[in-house]
Structure 1
Amino acid sequence: MDAKKEQFYQRPPKLGKWEAIRLFLWNSETGQFMGRTGSSWAKILLFYILFYAVLTGFFGAMLAVFYQTLDPHHPKWQQEKSLIGNNPGLGFRPMPPESNVESTLIWYKATDQGNYGHWVKELNKFLAGYEQNSLSGASEQRIQCDYGRPPPPGKVCNVDVKQWNHCTKANSYGYHKSSPCIFLKLNKIFGWVPQYYNDTNALPNNMPEDLKMHILGEKNRNPKTIDTIWVSCEGENPADIENIGPIHYIPSRGFPGYYFPFTNTKGYLSPLVAVFFERPKYGVLINIECKAWARNIIHDRFDRRGSVHFELMVD
């Protein structure tokens, strides 16, 4: 009896490292592969196949239910209920190189084609979508609009940048002549309708005087044209105002109202304003702020709402 007990509690023989690995991979005495028999492997494999099949089916069903709540053409959360809110931001082009993405400085040498070439290429890339045939089938949706003649349902207004005088691709957007064009655009907000400053007796006090005179003149010439989101650009500091030189807005001084609201119609083009800086002072950094003007546009420089800041330096 004592001999049997000693044999029962006897330690298994100590195996070497490679022998232990070999025995783990295949134990011929027990028929185990990596610690499990064939039936054990079959059961655990079947379990995980069923488990992941059910998990995949559940995820697919939930995804299908989620997509039923979405409209591919209309966002579920709009304007004040959305993350972007109902106050559009103002953007500018061309943008600095990606290596300096945080910068807002447009700096180049007008006498060096390799130097100003980046800005011209950036504008070419940006405006490519505004070519009539740039989007397949989109050109059929675009029509020429005017004040009092908005686009009918299913159509969008065209933006013909080929006729913008100094600010065209053929003219290198004025960069080779030290008279650059900066393009402005409003961020798209679905369903947002601008409230125009079409009452010349109720213009805000902080609106530039030259813009007030422009609005008054437009109202006298053609009252329909004051249904516009107006644009102003000016130097931020007295020195900037002195150095910025004459400014021209092409094709007009604002975004015409017939481009709004944005409803995600195929082929839609955001309206643009090209700001032509005719004679900025050479070799001087000029701080510029541009603003979009409508009653429901709030200017907030910190949150970049309704206005945009950039610097211009021409050597």
Structure 2
Amino acid sequence: MASTEDKPANKENTSSWKDSIYNPRTGEVLGRTASSWALILLFYLVFYCFLAGMFALTMWVMLLTLDDNVPRYRDRVPSPGLVIRPHSLDIAFNKSKPLEYAQYVQHLESFLQSYNDTEQEKNLDCTRGDYFNQEDTEEMIKKACRFKRSSLSLCSGLSDTNFGYSEGRPCILLKMNRIIGLRPRGDPYINCTVKRENPIQMQYFPSEGSIDKMYFPYYGKRIHENYVQPLVAVKLLLTKEDYNKELAVECRVEGSDLRNNDERDKFLGRITFRIKVVE
């Protein structure tokens, strides 16, 4: 049986624990009076408002140094990559089965919609061979040079709606990635080769696979909204000896200072794709 001396001790311990949360004698909550809590809360309120103000000021100053239309740092991608349409690095089809190449034809037709003559009439007929430099104006909207799909001739999809796939002589469209402010030196053009001993005849549209300087520089998506990249179409003139074989085709940007031999980036200024036509 517990002694009567233990009861006051237990009562004192309980009272001490409750007093640590709220002490009715001093009015303290968690060891602080109301005024003490008010002061410390005021301190942290002022402190965090100061930090928020410093952060907002820093962001505001940083945003003042940025341009809404042009990235501040553009040194990581000095040269453009090269891409193809149809958007596939492995093109294989039977020229006698329209369903097998229909996807490629539809992709090309869809891609060329923005190059329709009716769309390109909105753009300017620029001077060939010269950069189309534009000064800053109040409107800030940059004009674009005209590139009509009809300039792709046999690969335009106008005279041959199958882009040569039905006859086993397919068209491949190539374009460079957009880089703001790029002005390539020299006269860039696209050159394609097949990795085998016997060369394959090819046709280029525009002639010689040229990329005119008038499509440079590019000023950015927001202020150069009507801009379209210049295209080069390559028509592979395959023969019966070329059918049923997988051919590796490499295309490069030549004739300028644009890089096309970086072993760390296989798509910088060049691209390799495979094509197989079944008879």
Aligned to 2:244: 283
Matched, 1:310 2:279: no
Distance 1:116 1:231 in 2: 25
Matched, 1:173 2:166: no
- Written as runs of structure 1 = structure 2, the 5 A alignment for 1:189-204 is 189-196=179-186
Answer whether contact 1:143 1:151 (CA < 8 A) is retained. Answer: no
Distance 1:56 1:113 in 2: 64
- The TM-score with structure 1 as length reference comes to 0.63
Answer whether contact 1:194 1:294 (CA < 8 A) is retained. Answer: no
Aligned to 1:247: 202
- Written as runs of structure 1 = structure 2, the 5 A alignment for 1:127-166 is 127-131=112-116, 140=122, 142-147=123-128, 151=132, 153=134, 154-166=142-154
> 1:289 Cα shift?
0.9
- The TM-score with structure 2 as length reference comes to 0.70
Pick from 62, 68, 72 the counterpart of residue 64 of structure 2.
68
SS at match of 2:188: strand
Letter paired with 2:245: V
Distance 1:111 1:47 in 2: 81
Answer whether contact 2:133 2:217 (CA < 8 A) is retained. Answer: no
Aligned to 1:230: 189
> 1:114 Cα shift?
2.1
Distance 1:130 1:48 in 2: 61
Q: Which moved more, 1:167-176 or 1:268-277?
A: 167-176
Distance 2:46 2:117 in 1: 54
Matched, 1:5 2:34: no
SS at match of 1:312: strand
> 1:187 Cα shift?
2.1
Aligned to 2:173: 183
- Written as runs of structure 1 = structure 2, the 5 A alignment for 1:29-68 is 60-68=56-64
Letter paired with 2:259: I
> 1:166 Cα shift?
1.9
**Larger fraction in helix:** 1
Answer whether contact 2:246 2:275 (CA < 8 A) is retained. Answer: yes
Distance 1:115 1:49 in 2: 68
Distance 2:6 2:259 in 1: 96
Letter paired with 1:67: L
Answer whether contact 1:301 1:307 (CA < 8 A) is retained. Answer: no
RMSD, matched Cα = 3.5
- Written as runs of structure 1 = structure 2, the 5 A alignment for 1:11-26 is none
Aligned to 1:259: 215
Letter paired with 1:162: S
Answer whether contact 2:131 2:216 (CA < 8 A) is retained. Answer: no
Letter paired with 2:192: C
> 1:10 Cα shift?
9.0
Letter paired with 2:194: G
Alignment length (residue pairs) = 238
Aligned to 1:90: 82
Distance 1:131 1:52 in 2: 58
1:53–1:295 Cα change, 3 Å: same
Answer whether contact 1:229 1:254 (CA < 8 A) is retained. Answer: yes
Distance 1:6 1:155 in 2: 90
Between the aligned residues of both structures, percent identity stands at 27
SS at match of 2:211: strand
Answer whether contact 2:132 2:217 (CA < 8 A) is retained. Answer: no
Letter paired with 1:131: N
Aligned to 1:113: 98
> 1:147 Cα shift?
2.5
Aligned to 2:27: none
SS at match of 1:189: coil
Answer whether contact 1:159 1:271 (CA < 8 A) is retained. Answer: yes
Gaps of 5+ in 2: 15-33, 135-141
> 1:182 Cα shift?
0.7
